[in-house]
């Protein structure tokens, strides 16, 4: 995990020194040094802020090919590096470092743009091909590492975080379409960002700028094939177990201390157990909230004892969340629906303070092995759905629908049924819509967030099975736009810590994607192959434990978070968009709401609070 910046000017080059100033905004991502490269005419520039993990002494960037024709900056880690290195050396390539990132320049020179298919890992990269006068930027398959781009005047800028683009001269102004989408269905569409002119390069895509202009091409798609029954469910579980072990083994490679985030759930516990089986007894870090059922510290402690791990508990109360909130919001650059972002920010701070630069996490398992409640919702009859919602205290109204809803007819027409997670977001969107200002209501009368989702996926071949269709949509909406952005890289990078996600390995995805849904959700139990892989390694109570997402408790009546929200809303941060009077009324009636209603309304309150704080941080102008 590092920070990268690049520019390509069509006209006059950026002022000398601007590249360094832009890079400085990313110093938290790369506290161990910086490097830059500029073309002779100054029109092309690549900058890199380094977090040194592999080849600590010799892996500085930018990386330059032996012939000087290709220059690259890379953020992230490339796995299977040794096998690729041996193959390239056999072809005559000469490496000058031990860094995995150097693979990029040699693979590109050997395979051209198709080199991306040979990469395994979590990465964002930019390279300049001087011979072809071509700039190429790319992002990993699932979007673990962020990469944004914008045009400032006649110069194309790329960077790991939005504050770098603002320092390059971009004007901070809300993007009306993206703001509408966020406030109505939460998830931004592929490529969108909340700021006008800023684009997120979608996962599995590359941006190419050369004599033919600029274009974005897709180099990988999360295809879900027709299910294969060539194996048995038991054989699949054995294959999954081996793939998890391989993914963990690859992600243990580092020349600096490595830790593991341990929630006490199945996923992070399996990662810790797999590492322990290799003799890597990773120190475990757990966020501890002050309210059950959100607090999972006892489950995590049981796993740590079972595996013999040193266990570090990070208590997170509302006072600490208020302290972390401004920085957490600034680094996500998007709307929050819960306090899990500042909680993860606090966890990363503690991990770094304890001397660790790399942390393995369990993110990704629910996406690949159908762990979320909304996947079971797709397989349930109407009566069963009500019972499922009643059991899911933590996620009702977030992963499962609750209460009144915005129109979703466009989704039903296009997909045959409304995917469960989008049905949930439409109920959240209804609650947010009651907090909108009259100007926004009038201006957005003809907009339809559900239809915008349909348009974004027009022409794509989606699976016929409703669960797999929902999974494919989630992989391109919820995962990159929220999960990885809000509780992933940006929170860890804020403190110079790299998160590694073994359970989001694309080899594991391909094995699970080819299996029948009934092998992943068996007798109503989610993630069956992973549970089988964990048996014999973990306590049975953990293997059988139901899924619980990483969520913080709702705001406490009269507590520090609610007081902070009241102060932000009183300043009317988004006039014409959010209704100050409605927001303050919600805050004041908060103590009188039933607990279930506070759980349901908490995401709407968080969305308004985070947008208000984002506006203050970056002085974001109104969209109209």
pLDDT in tens, 7-46: 999 999 999 999 999 999 999 999 999 999 999 999 999 9
Q: Is 305 buried (19+), middle (13-18) or exposed (0-12) by CB count in 10 A?
A: exposed
Q: What is the 3-state secondary structure (H, E, C) of 206-248?
A: EEEEECCEEEEEECCCCCCCCCCCCCCHHHHHHHHHHHHHHHH
CATH number of 222-624: 3.40.50.620
Across the strands, what pairs with 121? 78
Q: What is the pLDDT of residue 386?
A: 65
The C-alpha atoms of residue 519 and residue 527 are separated, in whole angstroms, by 9
- In the chain, how many H helices and how many E strands? 28, 17
What does the CA dihedral 181, 346, 421, 451 come to, rounded to 10 degrees? 10
* Distance in angstroms (rounded) separating the CA atoms of residues 425 and 90: 52
pLDDT at 248: 99
Q: Which CATH number fits domain 3-172+196-218: 3.60.20.10, 3.40.1710.10, 3.10.28.10, 3.40.50.620?
A: 3.60.20.10
Residues of the chain with CATH 3.40.50.620: 222-624
**Residue closest to 263 by CA, chosen among 293, 240, 308:** 293
% of the chain residues with pLDDT over 90: 92
Place of tokens 């079971």: 376
Could you give the CA distance from residue 624 to residue 319 in angstroms, rounded to a whole number?
A: 36
Higher confidence at residue 415 or residue 383? 415
**Residue 391 pLDDT grade (very low, low, confident, very high; cuts 50, 70, 90):** low
The CATH 3.60.20.10 domain(s) of the chain lie at 3-172+196-218
Q: How many CB atoms lie within 10 A of CB 438?
A: 9
- Which residue did the predictor score with more confidence, 452 or 382? 452
Residue 336: pLDDT over 70: yes
Closest residue by Cα to residue 475 from 516, 506, 452, 511: 506
User: Tokens 């320049």 identify what position?
Assistant: 105
Residues 6+ apart with CB under 8 A from 466: 378, 379, 416, 417, 419
Measured CA to CA, the distance from residue 307 to residue 20 in angstroms comes to 46
State CA 367 to chain mean position distance. 12
378: left (phi over 0), alpha (psi -120 to 50) or beta: alpha
Question: What are 44-95's pLDDT values in tens digits?
Answer: 999 999 999 999 999 999 999 999 999 999 999 999 888 999 999 999 999 9
pLDDT score recorded for residue 80: 87
Best CA proximity match to 365, nearest among 235, 219, 229, 534: 534
Q: Whose structure tokens read 């069963």? A: 384
Going by the DSSP 8-state scheme, the letter that residue 339 receives in this structure is: T
Q: What is the pTM of this model?
A: 0.96
Phi and psi for 131 in degrees, rounded to 5? -65, -45
């Amino acid at each position: 995990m590092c920070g990268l910046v690049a520019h390509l000017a069509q006209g006059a080059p950026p002022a000398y020194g601007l590249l360094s100033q832009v890079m400085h905004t990313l110093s938290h991502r790369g506290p161990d040094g910086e490097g830059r490269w500029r073309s002779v005419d100054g029109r092309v520039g690549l900058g890199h802020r380094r977090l040194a993990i592999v080849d600590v002494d010799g892996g500085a960037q930018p990386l330059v090919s032996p012939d000087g024709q290709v220059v690259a900056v890379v953020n992230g880690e490339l796995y299977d590096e040794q096998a690729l290195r041996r193959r390239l050396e056999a072809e005559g390539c000469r490496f000058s470092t031990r860094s995995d990132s150097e693979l990029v320049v040699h693979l590109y020179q050997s395979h051209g743009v198709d080199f991306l298919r040979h990469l395994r890992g979590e990465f964002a990269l930019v390279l300049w091909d001087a011979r072809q006068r071509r700039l190429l930027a790319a992002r990993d398959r699932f979007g673990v590492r962020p990469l944004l781009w914008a045009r400032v005047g006649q110069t194309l800028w790329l960077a790991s975080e939005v504050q770098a683009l603002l320092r390059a001269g971009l004007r901070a102004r809300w993007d009306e379409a993206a703001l509408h989408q966020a406030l109505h269905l939460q998830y931004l569409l592929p490529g969108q960002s909340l700021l006008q002119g800023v684009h997120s390069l979608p996962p599995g895509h590359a941006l190419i700028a050369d004599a033919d202009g600029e274009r974005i091409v897709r180099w990988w798609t999360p295809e879900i094939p027709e299910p294969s029954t060539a194996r048995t469910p038991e054989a699949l579980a054995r294959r999954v177990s081996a793939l998890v072990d391989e993914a963990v083994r690859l992600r243990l490679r580092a020349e600096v201390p490595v830790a593991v985030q341990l929630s006490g759930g199945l996923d992070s516990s399996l990662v810790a157990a797999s590492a322990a089986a290799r003799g890597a007894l990773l120190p475990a870090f757990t966020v501890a909230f002050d309210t059950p059922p959100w607090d999972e510290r006892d489950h995590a402690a049981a796993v740590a004892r079972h595996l013999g791990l040193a266990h570090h508990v990070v208590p997170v109360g509302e006072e600490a969340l208020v302290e972390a909130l401004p920085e957490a919001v600034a680094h996500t650059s998007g709307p929050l629906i819960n306090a899990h972002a500042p909680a993860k920010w606090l966890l990363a701070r503690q991990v770094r303070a304890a001397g660790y630069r790399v942390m393995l996490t369990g993110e990704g398992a629910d996406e690949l092995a159908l762990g979320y409640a909304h996947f079971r919702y797709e397989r349930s009859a109407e009566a069963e759905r009500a019972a499922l919602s009643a059991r899911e205290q933590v996620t009702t109204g977030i992963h499962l629908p609750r209460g009144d809803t915005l129109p979703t007819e466009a989704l039903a027409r296009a997909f045959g049924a409304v995917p469960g997670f989008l049905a949930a977001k439409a109920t959240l969107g209804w609650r947010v819509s009651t907090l909108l200002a009259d100007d926004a209501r009038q201006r957005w009368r003809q907009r339809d967030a559900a239809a915008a989702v349909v348009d974004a996926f027009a022409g794509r071949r989606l699976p016929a099975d409703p669960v797999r269709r929902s999974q494919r949509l989630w992989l391109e909406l919820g995962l990159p736009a929220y999960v990885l952005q809000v509780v992933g890289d940006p929170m860890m990078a804020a403190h110079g810590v790299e998160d590694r996600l073994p359970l989001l390995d694309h080899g594991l995805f391909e094995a699970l994607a080819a299996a029948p849904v009934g092998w992943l959700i068996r007798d109503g139990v989610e993630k069956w192959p992973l549970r089988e892989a964990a048996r014999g390694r973990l306590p049975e109570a953990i293997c059988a434990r139901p899924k619980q997402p990483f969520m913080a408790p709702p705001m406490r009546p009269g507590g520090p978070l609610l007081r902070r929200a009241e102060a932000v809303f009183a300043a009317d941060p988004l006039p014409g968009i959010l209704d100050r009077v409605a927001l303050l009324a919600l805050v004041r009636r908060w103590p009188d709401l039933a607990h279930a209603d506070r759980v349901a309304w908490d995401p709407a309150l968080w969305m308004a609070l985070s947008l208000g704080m984002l506006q203050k941080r970056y002085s974001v102008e109104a969209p109209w």
